[in-house]
Amino acid sequence: MGMRAKYAYLLEGADVKRWFENLAAKSIVTATVYLRTLDFYCQRSKETAHCEKRKP
């Protein structure tokens, strides 16, 4: 399972996708690390603003 598959649910949101693409324009490594951090936050918190399509 690649990075795209595991975190694809986060990139379905327009805001997160734009944020990721803007970061990736300068550094794909930084963008990927930040996306992983957002996934970790979504798993650990009850915040749903950018996590509404979270995998079960």
DSSP states of 1-56: --HHHHHTTGGGSHHHHHHHHHHHHH-HHHHHHHHHHHHHHHHHS---TTTTT---
Q: Encode pLDDT of 18-41 as tens digits.
A: 999 999 999 999 999 999 999 888
Annotated domain spans of the chain = 3-44
User: What mean pLDDT comes out for the span 45-51?
Assistant: 73
Mean pLDDT of 45-52: 72
Q: What is the pLDDT of residue 54?
A: 54
The residue-averaged pLDDT of 2-16 equals 82
pLDDT the model gives residue 51: 75
